Structure 1
Amino acid sequence: MKYAILAFSLLLGLSCQSKNNKKEVETAKADAPKLILSPAALQEYETAYFASGCFWCVEAIFESVKGVKEVISGYSGGTEKNPTYENVAYGRTSHAEAVEVYYDPKTISFQELVQVFFGSHDPTTLNRQGPDRGAQYRSIAFFKNDREEKVIRNYIKALEKEMVYDSPIVTQVVKFDTFWKAEDYHQDFERRNPNQGYIKAVSIPRLNRFKENFPTFLKEEGAH
């Protein structure tokens, strides 16, 4: 299923790296508190790692998926230690904005998470996703072992065989190394800042398209 990108003319001046984002988040009124699992509780679940544009958008999409227990925004795919948003978002590192997904394999499989990944962004745009441009917004499917790599590559082959996209898939398939958690104000950004400009114009519409196209993957209302 092809992923429709919003016309850039409608998004002029909006991007994930807006310099006003931190100020807006610090003054935003938070929504109802989210159920937070302890680090010990999270260790009971499997992890998967993906990058597909602004992590605010990607986090919200995976948070909506059944079997997903927690999603953390951060940085991965580069070599620099202790990256910061200021450096990553403005292309000063080799990292991409990424998410760490904690999931219950009894409810959702890694292969299904790969489907979510490809079904929720455009994997044919090089170093770009929607209005966000730069290698920090590139498409990456990370694998931790041979089995996961095989799942990713086989799924890409299937998409190509079915000619799902008009252009070649440029998603990088990368061995996972290190994930660096982003600053606290980025976590659950969309949920806590529904009226922020970028969230209203880009992130929420992207989430809604995913929900419309993949209803069987969604959590029941009120489920964590």
Structure 2
Amino acid sequence: MIKFLSILTISLLFSCHNQAQVNPKQQAVINANPVEVPLQDGKARAYFASGCFWCVEAVYESVKGVDESISGYAGGFTENPTYAASNTGKTGHAETVEIIYDPELVSFSELVDVYFGSQNPTQVNGQGPDHGSQYRSIIFYQNEAQKQIIEQKKASLAKKLDAPIAAEVYPFQKFWLAEDYHQNYERLHPENPYIQKVSIPRLQKFKSKFPALLKDKTQH
């Protein structure tokens, strides 16, 4: 009985921790109305958290219709977050990428497919070797249509895998740009051991699964 209660307590703590320190400030973020980012020069923006942003940035930049992906922080309640502060897990933020894309070439729905197809969708509070609420999975919606797309795909995947999907669904509020040295990190530092052992294999696995979504070799 004591062993059972210990396991139950751990399970409850693990489940609660997935909500990234649910407190009044964090709950206000979760309950807020979404902010819709207007098109700029015909380009839209989308926001995804899926573990280390070095990995996610590289994945999305391989997708046709994506102009750029930028590393930063979102989903929390702390103003002007830094990498050091985010790593404490106390800011509420998760490492997030801003995707700048051409909606004529790739849809938000397809970007969500990329999201789920490039991660372990059942891993709670992290991806691969990266653990903590700052690495949790979040998909941000900017309007009700996007929210419905996310929820439908999440439910479909849960049914397919017969397992809970870890990704949280948040209204987008604000994207905080990460420090300069994080931008394009995989491309600029291919010799980094983490890049070689974690980021590149994750990217290659995604490419092998979704060849139809990849840019032509002439595109960068």
Sort the TM-score into its range (normalised by shorter chain): 0.7 to 0.9
* Residue of structure 2 in register with 1:80 after alignment: 78
C-alpha deviation, 1:222, in angstroms: 2.7
> Which structure has the bigger radius of gyration?
2
Q: Specify which of 117, 120, 129 is matched with residue 119 of structure 1.
A: 117
For residue 42 of structure 1, report the CA deviation from its aligned partner.
5.6
Say yes or no: does 1:197 pair with 2:197: no
Q: Describe the shift of the 1:151–1:185 C-alpha distance in structure 2 as closer, same or farther (beyond 3 A).
A: same
- The one-letter code of the counterpart of 1:147 is A
Aligned position for 1:136: 134
TM-fit CA distance, 1:94: 0.8
More helix by share: 2
Q: Which amino acid aligns with 1:94?
A: G
CA offsets, 1:35-67, max 9 Å, x none?
A: xxxxxx964300000000000000000000000
Aligned residues: percent identity? 54
User: What letter matches 1:185 in structure 2?
Assistant: Y
Q: Which amino acid aligns with 1:110?
A: F
Residue in structure 2 matched with residue 153 of structure 1 by the alignment: 151
Task: Provide, for residues 156-185 of structure 1, a one-character-per-residue CA deviation record: whole Å limited to 9, x for no partner.
Answer: 122123x2x253112101100000000000
2:70 partner letter: I
What is the 5 A alignment of 1:1-224?
A: 43-161=41-159, 163=160, 165-224=161-220
Q: Distance in 2 between matches of 1:128 and 1:138?
A: 5
- In the aligned structure 1, how far is the partner of 2:167 from the partner of 2:63? 21
TM-score (norm 1): 0.79
How many residues are matched?
Answer: 182
User: Residue type matched to 1:49 in 2?
Assistant: Y
In the alignment, is the contact (CA less than 8 A) between 1:42 and 1:102 conserved in 2? no
Alignment partners' CA distance in 2, 1:107 and 1:212: 20
Q: TM-score, normalised by structure 2?
A: 0.80
Stretches of structure 1 lacking an aligned partner (at least 5 in a row)? 1-40
Per the TM alignment, residue 82 of structure 1 is displaced from its structure 2 partner at its CA by 0.3
5+ residue gaps in structure 2? 1-38
